[in-house]
Amino acid sequence: MLREWDRFVDSVPGSDVAQLSAWARIRREAGFRPLYLLAHLDGRLVGGALVLERRLPVVGRIGYVSNGPLVSGAVPRESVMDRLLMEMDVVARTRLRALFVQPPVDAQDISSGLRERGFRHSAAGIAPAASIRVDLRRDVEDLRGRLTKANRRRTRNWAQRGVSVRMGSPDDAVLVADLLARTADHQQFEPLSPDYVQRLYRELDVGGHAAVFVAEIDGAPAAALLCTRCNGTVKQRISGMDRSERARKDGVSAATVWHAMLWAKSNGYDTYDFGGLRADAARLLLAGCDERTANLTGSEQFKTSFGGEVFLYPEQVELISSPLLRLAYDISRQTRTGGRLVKIGKRVLRGGRRR
């Protein structure tokens, strides 16, 4: 059953590794267990969703769906989707105390359909609400021409400056975690644990859903980028770099991204996704505001320097079936302590355990 489901996920446009059975194995270490909702038509798998659930003290069992549910493009979408949303509603009301859903890209009908069933807008942030993507069907010089001036210059100078990029191997997962930790220390955020990074790479690499790119200066590792790949999209997941002055001046992080884009294009992928952008910033950019007005972070400015298209995912929705829990959740979001707890909960839902 799981092999059939994984093949199905890989066949649906807009799908993501967060719906693969490998992702369920990755999240098991954080206490989550998989629940598969599958739709069949004449014996064929035509739709479904991976729900990841876990029991929390006092609260009870909660669940989330990231980048799902999915429906085959070979069948009438409305009838299959209606049945899936009905089952998700049943699960949310009878099995779980709360269910959070981030639909896949361009699947606004999921948000509206769940809204009609009593779900509401969610600010839980179980997955990025916006991102930036590059259409890799353009020729290489067109892609290069859309880069910022600094990045265009770098693409032509890396070799003579001793910067090279190689494909990584499973052994490089430790390097990715180490460089991520250095970046986290510099930018003051909490990194994913080394165990989580290694497990993520190991599980996804088995099915050909991961790729690592390592930038080196004169043969010494200086930056690393871990991407996931599903259907026609390569997506950035984890990156880090050495904090030396030379690594910064030589733009080694940009080197990993540019080479990842070229690799994805040459291997038949049509989209490169930068892996996330704040929704507020995305809305301002889509409205025509410049980067300064949108108040982009350094990481977001870096992502916009590759000439991609800003887009919003469909609205995230939630159903908290217990009125008492819903009231407590809503009140907690309005207090400083409650806000910190919500942020911790978001990290648990979206990433590895704390180190």
pLDDT tens for 180-222 read 999 988 888 888 999 999 999 999 999 999 999 999 999 999 9
Tokens linked to 223: 């930056």
All residues at 6 or more sequence positions from 296 whose CB lies less than 8 Å from its CB, including other chains: 281, 304
Residue 275 has pLDDT above 80, yes or no: yes
Q: How confident is the model at residue 112 (pLDDT cuts 50, 70, 90)?
A: very high
Cα separation, 342 vs 334, in Å, equals 10
Cα separation, 194 vs 176, in Å, equals 8
Task: Enter the pTM of the model.
Answer: 0.91
Mean pLDDT value across residues 332-351: 59
Between strands 44-56 and 60-66, the pairing is antiparallel
Residue 92 has pLDDT above 70, yes or no: yes
pLDDT score of 355: 37
Residue 233 has pLDDT above 90, yes or no: yes
pLDDT score of 185: 87
Q: What are phi and psi of 120, to 5 degrees?
A: -130, 170
Residue 350 has pLDDT above 80, yes or no: no
pLDDT score of 29: 87
pLDDT score of 337: 55
All residues at 6 or more sequence positions from 211 whose CB lies less than 8 Å from its CB, including other chains: 167, 168, 226, 227, 228, 229, 234, 260, 263
Residue 351 has pLDDT above 70, yes or no: no
pLDDT score of 249: 92
Looking at residue 256, what DSSP letter applies? H
Residue 354 has pLDDT above 50, yes or no: no
Q: How confident is the model at residue 336 (pLDDT cuts 50, 70, 90)?
A: low
pLDDT score of 327: 86
Mean pLDDT value across residues 230-240: 96
Q: How confident is the model at residue 319 (pLDDT cuts 50, 70, 90)?
A: very high
pLDDT score of 292: 80
Cα separation, 60 vs 95, in Å, equals 10
Q: Between 77-94 and 108-116, two packed helices, what is the crossing angle to 10 degrees?
A: 50
Q: What SS3 string covers the chain?
A: CHHHHHHHHHHCCCCCHHHCHHHHHHHHCCCCEEEEEEEEECCEEEEEEEEEEEEECCCEEEEEEECCCEECCCCCHHHHHHHHHHHHHHHHHHCCCEEEEECCCCCHHHHHHHHHCCCEECCCCCCCCEEEEEECCCCHHHHHHCCCHHHHHHHHHCHHHCEEEEECCHHHHHHHHHHHHHHHHHHCCCCCCHHHHHHHHHHHHHCCCEEEEEEEECCEEEEEEEEEEECCEEEEEEEEECCCHHHHHHCHHHHHHHHHHHHHHHCCCCEEECCCECHHHHHHHHCCCCHHHHCCCHHHHHHHCCCCEEEECCCCEEEECCHHHHHHHHHHCCCHHHHHHHHHHHHHHHCCCCC
Torsion-angle region of residue 43: left (phi > 0), alpha (psi -120 to 50) or beta?
A: left
**pLDDT above 70 as % of the chain:** 94
pLDDT score of 349: 57
Residue 16 has pLDDT above 70, yes or no: yes
pLDDT digits (tens, 9 = 90+) for 116-160: 999 999 998 999 999 999 999 999 999 999 999 999 999 999 999
* Mean pLDDT of the residues in the chain: 92
Q: How confident is the model at residue 325 (pLDDT cuts 50, 70, 90)?
A: confident
pLDDT score of 323: 86
What is the distance, to the nearest Å, from the Cα of residue 225 to the centroid of all Cα atoms in its chain? 14
